[in-house]
């Protein structure tokens, strides 16, 4: 994945503001992460798309969530994307998996948990199916795609667990 300079992150943030993209805050797990709601058209058909610009952790970040993602799921989507790069970082080959594990933990007793997992599975399914022919355009490496696969497998297992034992998964 590509790294971005502080200047590029700030410049893009300003462009998002100029274009009128709605800026929101995700309040989850005792933290506040800001993100932008971006038109689905920017994602060129990627369902439940996410956007990020990060570089050195001290240079800040820019996170965007497709307006296709239901509004109630946008905060967890934004936090998972933020955490993948700002908490776990590019040096962690399992950053995508770790981010998803953390979000499932955060949503453990939330009624949003199942919907979050289902929407993320749609995203990963699409990325994995189409990444080979779009890898250069999307700036993904083979390692990135392998990480998507591990995160997808984890979420699929979580969803199966939920359906098999809903009374446990809901904390009842």
pLDDT in tens, 88-147: 998 999 999 999 999 999 999 899 999 999 999 999 999 999 887 777 777 788 888 899
Residue 1 lies in a domain: no
Beta bridge partners of 25: 34
Q: Which domain holds residue 126?
A: 6-169
**What band does 172 get if pLDDT is binned at 50, 70 and 90?**
very low
Residues 6+ apart with CB under 8 A from 70: 115, 119
Helix (H, G, I), strand (E, B) or coil at 169: helix
Number of domains in the chain: 1
Residue 164 lies in a domain: yes
Question: Apex CA 47: angle with CA 130 and CA 120, to 5°?
Answer: 95
Q: Which two tokens stand for residue 59?
A: 């240079």
């Amino acid at each position: 994945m590509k790294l971005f300079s502080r200047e590029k992150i700030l410049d893009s943030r300003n462009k998002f503001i100029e274009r009128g993209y709605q800026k929101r805050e995700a309040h989850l797990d005792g933290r506040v992460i800001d993100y932008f709601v971006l038109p689905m058209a920017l994602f060129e058909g990627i369902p439940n798309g996410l956007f990020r610009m990060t570089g050195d952790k001290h240079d800040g970040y820019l996170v965007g969530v497709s307006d296709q993602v239901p509004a109630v799921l946008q905060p967890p989507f934004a936090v998972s994307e933020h955490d993948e790069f700002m908490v776990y970082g590019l040096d962690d080959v399992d950053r995508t998996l770790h981010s998803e594990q953390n979000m499932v933990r955060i949503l453990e007793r939330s009624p949003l948990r199942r919907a979050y997992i289902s929407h993320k599975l749609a995203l990963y399914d699409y990325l994995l199916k189409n990444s080979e022919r779009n890898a250069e355009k999307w700036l993904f490496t083979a390692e990135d795609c392998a990480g998507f696969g591990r995160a997808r497998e984890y979420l699929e297992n979580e969803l199966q667990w939920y359906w098999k034992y809903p009374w446990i998964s809901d904390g009842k």
